[in-house]
Amino acid sequence: MATVLVTGGAGYVGSHACRALAEAGHVPVCFDDFRTGWRAAVRFGPLVEGRLLDRAALDAAFAAHRPEAVMHFAALSLVAESVAEPGRYWRENVGGTLTLLEAMRDAGVGRLVFSSTAAVYGDSDLALIPEHAPQRPTNPYGATKLAVERMLADFGAAHGLRAVVFRYFNVAGAAAEATIGEQHRPETHLIPLVLEAALGRREAIVQHGDDYPTPDGACVRDYIHVGDLAEAHLLGLERLLRGGESLTANLGVGRGYSVREVIERARAVTGRPIPARIGPRRPGDPARLVCDPALALAELGWRARRSDLDRMIADAWTWAQGAGYDA
């Protein structure tokens, strides 16, 4: 049983990781500033309210809770926003993580599970993208995550930090009992927006681009259930607690769906018509991102178990039909 500081623990993926940690008998200490996280998502352990760029707040959290490890989710994560406001992304994602790593070094905490992204690959010609594929991010979001990965390697060499880095593909779904789920303000992610259209809360879903070099012209993504993602984080943590080496691994299923296919499946799962129209491409979007998940299986024994697209949409639908965190 370990105490784990979870930055961004009140956000979508972070809260599901806290839930998985608590279920496994660990103590997740949520560190969040609630700019994008939700107080009602903090249900699984203690809370420290603070900003990543606030070194004193981090030092106080390490002193008060003495964590054995950190899971680091807190970040800005919207592709289009990162293209428009790169400075904020470099400051918060890279500067924020640097502050965290120095606080960890000085507190003697040498284990980190880090939330990276498939956006580090950028446009790839490969049908399935392995970890050694070229890393050429097409947007500042991906560039900042890649910069952090390099920073982790440097801190590893100099200070002995051991890190498990997960490059997520597209996260979807919610905890089955839907006490926590995906809620962003504004919402920009495909499946929540499709479900808002299903509920009549928005007029239509706009497909960003239909002239990509893919079979139906829409972007193709690999969708992974947030519960599967949380489970991988637990395995990554356990590897580090056992003394295992650093690792960088993709988390995805190995199967891609186009935006058009996702909308089609959502119509079937919800039984609602879901109006859709075509809009322009979204700046920074690669055409196709599909994961080769073999390394996570080989190194962690992890595979996606809940990531059938219909199930992810169904779990997100249960959550979307509830009151969310506004209740």
- Known catalytic residues are 141
Distances in Å between the alpha carbon of 298 and those of 134, 256, 307?
A: 21, 21, 19
Three-class secondary structure of residue 54 per DSSP? coil
Closest CB to ligand UDP among residues 103, 191: 191
Query: Quick one: which of 138, 207, 250, 270 contacts ligand UDP (CB under 6 A)?
Result: 207
Least separation, in Å, of the C-beta of 205 and ligand UDP? 6
Interface with ligand UDP, residue 124, by CB under 6 A: no
Tokens at residue 246, please?
A: 């650093």
Instruction: Please tell me the count of residues contacting ligand UDP according to CB under 6 A.
Output: 15
Closest CB to ligand UDP among residues 136, 282: 282
- Angle ∠(221,174,231) on CA atoms, nearest 5: 80
Least separation, in Å, of the C-beta of 170 and ligand UDP? 5
208-267 residues in contact with ligand UDP (CB under 6 A) are: 208, 219, 221, 259
Place of tokens 């905890």: 175
Binding mask 127-166 for ligand UDP (x = CB under 6 A): ----------------------------------------
Please say whether the beta carbons of 180 and 174 come within 8 A.
yes
Interface with ligand UDP, residue 183, by CB under 6 A: no
Which among 2-10, 186-194, 265-273, 309-317 is the span making contact with ligand UDP, rule CB under 6 A?
186-194
Q: Cα(116)–Cα(238) distance, rounded to whole angstroms?
A: 18
The residue of the chain with the least Cβ separation from ligand UDP equals 219
Interface with ligand UDP, residue 170, by CB under 6 A: yes
Closest CB to ligand UDP among residues 105, 282: 282
Interface with ligand UDP, residue 288, by CB under 6 A: no
Q: Cα(7)–Cα(5) distance, rounded to whole angstroms?
A: 6
Binding mask 71-100 for ligand UDP (x = CB under 6 A): --------x---------------------
Q: Cα(63)–Cα(83) distance, rounded to whole angstroms?
A: 37
Q: Cα(307)–Cα(256) distance, rounded to whole angstroms?
A: 12
Distances in Å between the alpha carbon of 23 and those of 39, 46, 240, 305, 314?
A: 20, 15, 19, 17, 23
Q: Cα(232)–Cα(222) distance, rounded to whole angstroms?
A: 16
Strand-pairing partners, residue 289, are: 221
Least separation, in Å, of the C-beta of 266 and ligand UDP? 12
Q: Report helix angle 309-321 to 190-198, nearest 10.
A: 60
Interface with ligand UDP, residue 189, by CB under 6 A: yes
Interface with ligand UDP, residue 282, by CB under 6 A: yes
- Give me the torsion for CA of 282, 95, 61, 238, rounded to 10°: 70
Q: Write the Ramachandran bin of 108: left for phi over 0, alpha for psi from -120 to 50, otherwise beta.
A: left
Strand order in the sheet with 220-221: 257-258, 220-221, 288-289
Least separation, in Å, of the C-beta of 323 and ligand UDP? 22
Which among 27-35, 183-191, 196-204, 306-314 is the span making contact with ligand UDP, rule CB under 6 A?
183-191
Which among 6-14, 153-161, 173-181, 188-196 is the span making contact with ligand UDP, rule CB under 6 A?
188-196
Least separation, in Å, of the C-beta of 190 and ligand UDP? 4
Residues binding ligand UDP (CB under 6 A): 79, 170, 188-190, 193, 205-208, 219, 221, 259, 282, 285
